[in-house]
Chain A
Amino acid sequence: MKKYLSIFFVTLLAMAALTGCSGGTGESSGDNTSNVSTTDTTQAGTSDNVTGVTATGEATYGGTVVVGIQQDIDSLDPHTATAAGTKEILFNIFEGLVKNAPNGDLICAVAESYELSEDGLVYTFTLRQGVKFHNGDLVTAEDVKYSIERCAGLLDGTPLVSTMKTITAVDIIDEKTVQVTVDSVNPELIYSFTYAIIPNGSADVEGADPIGTGPFRYVSYTPQEGIIVEKNEDYWQEGLPYLDRVEFKIITDDKTATLELQAGTVQLFSYLTDEQATELSKTMQVLSAPSSTVQALFLNNAVEPLNDVKVRQAIMYALDKDEINLFVGGGDATVISSSMLPTLEKYYVDLNDVYGTGANVEAAKQLLTEAGYPDGFDLVISVPSNYPVHMQTAEVIVEQLKAVGINASIDAIEWTSWLSDVYTNREYAATVCALTGDSTPGYLLSRFVSTSSKNFINFNSAEYDEVYEKVVAATTMEERGDYYKELQKILVDEAGTGFTLCIANKVAVANNLAGYVFYPVYVQDMSTVYYVAE
């Protein structure tokens, strides 16, 4: 499976460096599921039966699916939404010039093809003919220009997508050609063109419904309840989507989610805990694939006593990641040490040896003594209570820290307060959560630059910043790859934060549904899901 993925990523990078789109329609669900395996729970017998249903079922059109989601969404504006849980839903409503494909490639969406100039500074997009917005209007070059300029900050000076701030001009060549000029070469920039194309001026209309070109159109959103979308009849990909209606229902409690899945009021739910997966695999299909998230015990590098590198290193030694994997990951997660997805093999460097994957109590105590905390200290770990995986991880970590004398306690907080207090205002000491990677390898590393607005752990290393500058200056992915490995190393040596696991994403799917496809990025594509004929 890893082999497949690495092949996908190599292809993807080769493409990014050169030109063009694979132009695939992503229609055949058979190919897409190649990186999916059924979960190896103890109930092997029943899960065999269950997967049999998927294999033989014939696709039908129509029907409604209720998808459970773990958190409320933070914005309906595809350019300003920051939470991964929001983006994974908006993926169904909005599309960029290009979009992510299940195999890690980019496929053309609103654009039909694109070309990159020899010097890597000019992107020329040819728009696909006949792509319609959900309001019925055809997508014009004006709309594309407006959307890109809005993301790049050319409209009001504030770039909404930081990677796109290198864009200096968006020119309409003719009604189906748009040219984007950048001031520096960035082989990863093409991934930013997955950001949504929206109607010209639409984002400035307050309270307007979100309008995109995706397989589903927005119907309604009720805070704390969910979001409802319906089939886009004019979708440009022939034959998609299958479903008439998808309701994303917010269920912040994992036990409620299990009950609803068992009762059949929710048909699909991702990011199951190990226990949920075991429990649900008796009655439903439970699919599993490597996730695109890195989980960590994040430490606020700016607060006492975590501003001392020795204290942070002591915590690294105290963590027993193998145990966390066993308790929380069901034993099939990948133990990690730095901010890179292990599936991105070309860029990932295994640094688990630095502090070891088990606990090293002596080393931790020694470092604490050196740092002037021979008796440990109090540490509050703020955890978003709607993520049982993180709550359980925190519980395990509290025990592990106790072993070295650190008196940790858990403060379970709501997701919205986590976003504002922890992530935005950085008013916390430690937290357990996961970061979501995207298809650009550097994404998860870019946030630890000291000046980054996403650097919520207040990581501050001159060396790191220096190397990152070299990354930005590098023009080939090979060169960048070397620097990425260096960055991972610095992050680990400085003990910026306690990375723990890349947890497998386990998804419960009702027995009469098929076509669910995993992506190497954090999205939930409902367009390929269908009910099988009875």
Chain B
Amino acid sequence: MRDLLSGTPTVVAAGVDVFSDALRAQGADVHDVDWRPPGLGDPADLAALALDRRRAAANRTAVERVMAAGSRLVDVRPARDVLGLTDRTLLHAGPPIGWDDASGPLRGALVGACLFEGWASTVEEAERLLASGGVALDPCHHRSCVGPMAGVTSPSMWTWCLEDPVTGGQAYCNLNEGLGKVLRMGAYADEVLTRLRWMRDVLGPVLQAAVRSMADPLDVKAVLAQMLQMGDEGHNRNRAGSLMTLRELSPAVVEVDAPSSDVAAVLRFIGGNEHFFLNLGMPTAKLALDAARDVPGSTMVTVMSRNGTEFGIRTAGTGDRWFTGPANTPVGLFLGDYGPEDANPDIGDSAIMETYGVGGFTMAAAPAIVRFVGGTVPDALATTERMYQLTLAENPAMQVPILGFRGSPTGIDVLAVARTGWLPQINTGMAGRVAGTGQVGAGLVQPPRECFEQALAALTAEARAAA
């Protein structure tokens, strides 16, 4: 505090210009912020939250836990075993939802999973089964799990098992199928099911044997950190990460006791899938954010996730409550002759990457991505710059080279979202609106304001109760 009087102060000003102008006229060093009225939330709520005495320390605790968490690939196991998925239970992306409200791609993926599991032999039979409530649906996030796009995870699917060496926490994600006509995009044609069966019968067992044979478990967080230095942002662009994963796994895969044709098929599959790493990156982010669950007083977002109908968020200060709003439809580029009218609203748990501070938040590391919406390299830089104003910290492990190796903007602060009116930037794939279609494009999207309005109100109620 003595600092204040130790010399002519530099001034940072928020508000009317006349005060700053008068200071400049005296030769003062004045920095004006471009203040605007809050973008959302009741002013009294914002004030109460700003004054919550727990907030600063709680947010520091939460974001430090996120940044401290590690991620080791320790096993590959069937979802049935690790997720406690009994028969007739399917996991899905996003906040809770039932069949009646499910969008096309989620329905398509659920149908495909029923066919894959042999719970139904035709699409119609699967639809009847699902519509009658014959299959229990549960969000991945309720089981330490994340799933890209529809996120549908069935008992016979193999999952990556990741462990945080700091907390001992576990997180899971199924194996990435590739692009195009794939279950997670809502496709369920024969080729989709054939691929899933091969993944069940060949890919999963080979990867399990390989991963279990590795003396040093793969440090997935380290791969993610390196990707950002190689033109990936870890959500919509995973090229370098997938190749590094192939490099790390290959020796162990080759040594697996399996027919050489299977080994070759596995390596070819991994090498041919630019998004193979995504399903490792997501549980890495999930581990870190789970480490920050249940920090009373923290306004940090721990989950952003979509089920194709609704977008949902959770915060560190509000336990397991979901705050939801209608999912937006991404804006971007389309495969083939698909167009905007073919795109389903936002879907997938993959926004966990942005929640962790990469993906859209490190757009500056992957300028190619911004061209999905006709943007330029300066737009990519500006997007990341904007996200710094929404977040609590810079993660020194996740560096953005073009910004002078500045750490990624990490830990979305609900209060900062409300005050700036800026919404988190998410990079995402786009699934076809009609069940069975598959991927139609990729682009950029933001959460609906409603999620943050509800979270703000709930956090404020917590703050008032604690005061």
A binds B: no
